[in-house]
Amino acid sequence: MREIQTDSITEAVKDMCIAINYTLSEDMTAALQDAMQKEVSPLGRQVLGQLQENLTIAEQERIPICQDTGMAIVFLEVGQEVHVTGGSLEEAVQEGVRRGYEEGYLRKSVVGDPLLRVNTKDNTPAIVYYSIVPGERFRITVTAKGFGSENMSRIFMLKPAQGIEGVKEAVLETVREAGPNSCPPVVVGVGIGGTFEKAALLAKQALLRPAAEKAEAPHIRELEEELLERINRFGIGPAGLGGRVTALAVHINTFATHIAGLPVAVNMCCHADRHAVREL
Within this chain, do residues 223 and 253 fall inside the same structural domain, yes or no?
yes
Within this chain, do residues 141 and 7 fall inside the same structural domain, yes or no?
yes
Task: For residue 196, give the CATH number of its domain.
Answer: 3.30.1330
Within this chain, do residues 153 and 248 fall inside the same structural domain, yes or no?
yes
Q: Which of 103, 118, 145 is the last residue of a domain?
A: 145
Measured CA to CA in angstroms, residue 13 lies from 9, 76, 93, 120, 275 at distances of 6, 11, 6, 19, 12
Q: Which of 145, 161, 181 is the last residue of a domain?
A: 145
Asked if the structure places residue 51 within a domain, the reply is no
What is the domain range of residue 237?
A: 148-273
pLDDT (tens digit per residue) in 84-125: 999 999 999 999 999 999 999 999 999 999 999 999 999 999
Q: Give the pTM.
A: 0.95
* pLDDT, position 9: 98
Identity at 16, one-letter amino acid code? M
Within this chain, do residues 125 and 181 fall inside the same structural domain, yes or no?
no
Within this chain, do residues 165 and 264 fall inside the same structural domain, yes or no?
yes
d(CA 138, CA 208): 17
Which positions ≥6 away from 210 have C-beta within 8 Å?
A: 27
Is residue 214 within 8 A of residue 221, CB to CB? The reply is: yes
pLDDT (tens digit per residue) in 120-158: 999 999 999 999 999 999 999 999 999 999 999 999 999
Within this chain, do residues 117 and 8 fall inside the same structural domain, yes or no?
yes
Within this chain, do residues 187 and 115 fall inside the same structural domain, yes or no?
no
φ, ψ at 122 (rounded to 5°): -145, 10
The number of distinct structural domains making up the chain is 2
Task: Please state, for a pLDDT cut of 70, what percent of the chain lies above it.
Answer: 100
Within this chain, do residues 172 and 141 fall inside the same structural domain, yes or no?
no
d(CA 143, CA 183): 17
Asked if the structure places residue 120 within a domain, the reply is yes
Asked if the structure places residue 46 within a domain, the reply is no
Within this chain, do residues 98 and 158 fall inside the same structural domain, yes or no?
no
Within this chain, do residues 163 and 239 fall inside the same structural domain, yes or no?
yes
- Nearest of 93, 88, 96, 91 to residue 76 by alpha carbon: 93
Is 90 exceeded by the pLDDT of residue 1? no
Asked if the structure places residue 183 within a domain, the reply is yes
Asked if the structure places residue 178 within a domain, the reply is yes
Task: For residue 103, give the CATH number of its domain.
Answer: 3.30.360
Within this chain, do residues 184 and 235 fall inside the same structural domain, yes or no?
yes
Question: How open is the CA angle 42-44-45, to the nearest 5 degrees?
Answer: 65
Within this chain, do residues 173 and 138 fall inside the same structural domain, yes or no?
no
Question: Over the chain, what is the mean pLDDT?
Answer: 97
* pLDDT, position 98: 98
Strand partners, 249: 187
* pLDDT, position 280: 96
Asked if the structure places residue 139 within a domain, the reply is yes
- Nearest of 144, 176, 89, 115 to residue 269 by alpha carbon: 144
Asked if the structure places residue 202 within a domain, the reply is yes
Asked if the structure places residue 185 within a domain, the reply is yes
d(CA 280, CA 5): 10
pLDDT (tens digit per residue) in 200-248: 999 999 999 999 999 999 999 999 999 999 999 999 999 999 999 999 9
Q: Which of 87, 110, 145 is the last residue of a domain?
A: 145
